[in-house]
Every structure is written in C-alpha cells, then in structure tokens.
C-alpha cells in the first residue's frame, strides 16, 4: 500500500461548504507570471474572475477558481514548479488583518498562535496545526477542500511560504541544531530535482504535509512586535471571524486541544473548558458540522500513530503513548484505519 493512501485528510462533510481565498493571492499570481510576460487577461480567461475584482481589497475568489488559475498559470508559463516561486515571494501582508496581527506578535510562537486561531479569516480551505514532539516543532496543513490538479502548487507554496515568512518575522535563521525539513503528502513531482537546493530535506508520499524545525525557534522574538498594533489587529480579526462564521475553525481548534504533550489525550469536558464552553454546547456545535468529539479524537490518535511509528520506539511504546491498554488493541485499531499493520507501515515508511 502506498504511503500517500494513508494521508489523514479530512473527510468531506455531507453539506460541502464554499471555500474562498482573498483576491490578494490572485494579485500575487499575476505579479509572478509577469516574469514570463503573461498578460493578466490571458490568465483570467475562462476563470470567472474579472480584473475589476482584483481592484477590490476585500474581494474573494472561490477555491475552485483559484485552483484553475494556478494550473492555467503553470501551463502559460511552462514552469511546473510554480509553487516554489510563489513560496519564495510570500510576504506577511498577503494575509491582511491576519498577517498584520502575526507581524505584531512578541514571538514566533505567539505569531503562530494567532495564525492558528484566525486562519479561517484567510481561508477555510486549509487548516494549520502546531505540534511539538521530542524538541521538534511541526506546522501541519490539514486540507478541508479538494485542491484539484493544482494541489502540489498550493501545498508547496504554503509550506515554503511559511518558512519564508517565519524568517522575515524573526530576521534570522531557525534556532537550534536541527535543520528545517518539509514533508509532502503527494508523490515526488518530476520537477523536484531542480528545486532540491531550496529544501534539501524534502520528503514526499508522507502521511502529513508539514514543515518541521527545532522547537527552540518558537521563542525567537518578532522584529516588528508592537503591542498596541497587536490589540488592534486582533480586534479586526475577531470581527472578521464573526462575519464569516462564529464557529469557523472550530474543528481545527478542537483538534488542537485534544492532545497535550504533558497531559496526553484530553476528555470532552477538559477540551470544552479550555474553549470556554460547556461539553453539551461543544457537542452541539460539532454535530452541526456532522462530527462528534469521538470522531475527532480518533482522527488525532490515527495521525499521531502515523507520526510516532516513524520514531525509534517499539510498537508497545507507541501503543502506550496513544493510551491503548495493550499493543494488540492498538494494532487492531491501526488496521481498521489503514488496512495494514503498524509493522508493515513502518517498513514501508523506512523504504520511502
């Protein structure tokens, strides 16, 4: 079984939401393809996106239309590795209020906390999770929308862009001895050898799409920190989040609270307390999205299993970390999730 088949992508809900992105992403794309002398009207042809929309600072574009534009840009420029070019020119201002807030935070950890809290203000198509394990921090992308044939462009540009923005916020290289690494959940593209020098430690067909770095980097100060500006930016983000949906990003927030490095898996009661709601209210709000707390707990447990099986620990130790009473119980659960056993998956991951 291919590792890519085990990628923990969010299942499609019964009522598919309309995911959008800010027009600033289209503007960024038009600026990039100008290097290949591709006119804007040629890019927009057939997309349903008008040049007038690009002049509206509050305009938004459907994710399907954005995916079409990215794939069309790849065709018109003849550059298959467009995602790396987009990632290299990422700047925090592209993210509007969210970028303003992150750039005003005191530390990289605080900036990421803001990004995780208000990510739906930018788009509900992809969620971001911060995980820490064994001194390594990982920013993981969780796909909530079908990105189509432009999936590699989107994920590479986002992951590479996160690294670019992180360096610009702190004004320095990541701290600590561990070099930055990137994992992608799609197979290695044919164009990757041309860009290997940008991310020497890039791996493909992995169970997660993530950028991993030394956790010590999280404590680096942000060079543009401004407490007053942060208060204003957070208020604008809160207002924008309410305009979208007060529960936008609820699933990602719950997922982020389900596991703690010090406390392990948290109960519904504990997660509800941390989110400032009653367990009954949390269950009702999740049910409105055709989800239950137990389903989310199962997803997080599965994702952690896929990650821990890549660490030098025994199956018994992995089962214990995942709070299973016995290793055999964990093996049965893993087979139910993936159709294979932990040992077979581990051997396949090592070959990759």
Q: What is the pLDDT of residue 78?
A: 97
Q: Are strands 202-203 and 126-133 parallel, antiparallel or unpaired?
A: unpaired
Over 80: is that where the pLDDT of 258 sits? yes
Mean pLDDT (whole number) for 327-341: 92
Over 90: is that where the pLDDT of 256 sits? no
Q: Residue 129 pairs with which residues in a beta bridge? A: 140
Give me the half-sphere count of Cα atoms (radius 13 Å) on the Cβ side of residue 57. Answer: 5
Q: What is the pLDDT of residue 348?
A: 80
Please give the Cα distance from 130 to 128 (Å, whole number): 7
Mean pLDDT (whole number) for 293-304: 89
Mean pLDDT (whole number) for 229-236: 92
Alpha carbon 212 to chain centroid, angstroms: 12
Q: What is the pLDDT of residue 10?
A: 45
Location of each CATH 3.90.1520.10 domain in the chain: 3-11+18-219
Of 13-27, 129-143, 165-179, 291-305, the least confident: 165-179
Q: If pLDDT is split at 50, 70 and 90, which confidence band does 245 have?
A: low
More confident residue, 91 or 46: 46
Q: What is the pLDDT of residue 17?
A: 60
Contact between 111 and 169 (Cβ < 8 Å): yes
Contact between 128 and 197 (Cβ < 8 Å): no
Give the sign of the dihedral formed by CA 31, CA 33, CA 34, CA 35: positive
More confident residue, 180 or 88: 88
Fold of the CATH domain 265-351? Arc Repressor Mutant, subunit A (1.10.10)
Backbone conformation region of residue 91, classed left if phi is above 0, alpha if psi is from -120 to 50, else beta = beta
Please give the Cα distance from 231 to 270 (Å, whole number): 28
50, 142, 206, 259 from 256: Cα distances, Å: 38, 12, 21, 7
Q: What is the pLDDT of residue 29?
A: 96
pTM strictly above 0.95: no
Contact between 222 and 103 (Cβ < 8 Å): yes
Q: Which residue has the tokens 């796909």?
A: 143
Location of each CATH 1.10.10.60 domain in the chain: 265-351
Please give the Cα distance from 317 to 264 (Å, whole number): 14
Mean pLDDT (whole number) for 176-182: 67
Mean pLDDT (whole number) for 76-82: 97
Angle at 66 between CA 63 and CA 69, to 5 degrees: 155
In sequence order, what are the residues at sequence separation of 6 or more whose Cβ sits closer than 8 angstroms to the Cβ of residue 39?
none
Q: What is the pLDDT of residues 35-53, one digit of tens each?
A: 999 999 999 999 999 999 8
Q: What is the pLDDT of residue 11?
A: 43
Mean pLDDT (whole number) for 310-339: 91
Over 90: is that where the pLDDT of 166 sits? no
Fold of the CATH domain 3-11+18-219? H-NOX domain (3.90.1520)
Question: What secondary structure, in 3-state letters, does the chain show?
Answer: CCHHHHCCCCCCCCCCCCCEEECHHHHHHHHHHHHHCCCHHHHHCCCCCCCCHHHCCCCEEEHHHHHHHHHHHHHHHCCCCHHHHHHHCCCHHHHHHHHHHHHCCCEHHHHHHHHHHHHHHHCCCEEEEEEEECCEEEEEEEECCCCHHHHHHHHHHHHHHHHHHHHHHHCCCCCCCCCCEEECCCCCCCCHHHHCCCCCCEECCCCCEEEEEEHHHHHCECCCCCHHHHHHHHHHHHHHHHHHCCCCCHHHHHHHHHEECCCEECCHHHHHHHHCCCHHHHHHHHHCCCCCHHHHHHHHHHHHHHHHCCCCCCHHHHHHHCCCCCHHHHHHHHHHHHCCCHHHHHHHHHHC
């Amino acid at each position: 079984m291919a590792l890519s088949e085990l990628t923990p992508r969010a299942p499609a809900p019964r009522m598919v939401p309309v995911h959008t992105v800010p027009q600033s992403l289209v503007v960024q794309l038009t600026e990039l393809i100008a290097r290949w002398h591709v006119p804007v009207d040629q890019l927009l042809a057939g997309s349903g996106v008008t040049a007038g929309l690009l002049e509206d600072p509050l305009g938004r574009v459907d994710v399907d239309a954005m995916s079409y534009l990215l794939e069309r840009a790849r065709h018109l420029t003849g550059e298959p590795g467009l995602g790396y070019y987009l990632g290299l020119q990422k700047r925090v201002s592209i993210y509007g209020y969210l970028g303003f807030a992150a750039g005003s935070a005191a530390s990289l950890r605080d900036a990421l906390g803001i990004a995780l809290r208000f990510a739906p203000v930018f788009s509900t198509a992809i969620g971001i999770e911060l995980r820490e394990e064994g001194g390594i921090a990982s920013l993981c992308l969780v796909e909530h929308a079908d990105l189509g044939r432009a999936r590699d462009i989107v994920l590479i540009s986002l992951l590479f862009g996160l690294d670019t923005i992180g360096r610009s916020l702190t004004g320095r290289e990541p701290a600590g001895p561990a070099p930055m690494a990137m994992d992608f959940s799609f197979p290695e593209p044919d164009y990757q050898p041309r860009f290997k020098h940008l991310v020497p430690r890039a791996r493909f067909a992995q169970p997660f799409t993530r950028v991993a770095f030394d956790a010590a980097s999280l404590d680096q100060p942000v060079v543009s920190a401004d407490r007053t500006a942060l208060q204003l930016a957070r208020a604008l983000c809160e207002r924008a989040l309410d305009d979208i949906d007060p529960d936008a990003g609820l699933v990602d927030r719950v997922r982020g609270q389900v596991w703690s490095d010090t406390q392990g898996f948290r109960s519904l009661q504990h997660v509800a307390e941390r989110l400032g709601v009653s367990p009954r209210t949390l269950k009702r709000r999740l049910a409105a999205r055709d989800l239950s707390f137990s389903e989310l707990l199962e997803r997080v447990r599965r994702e952690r299993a896929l990650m821990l099986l890549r660490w030098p620990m025994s199956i018994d130790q992995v089962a214990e970390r995942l709070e299973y009473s016995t290793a055999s119980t964990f093996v049965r659960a893993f087979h139910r999730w993936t159709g294979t056993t932990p040992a077979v998956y581990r051997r396949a991951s090592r070959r990759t």
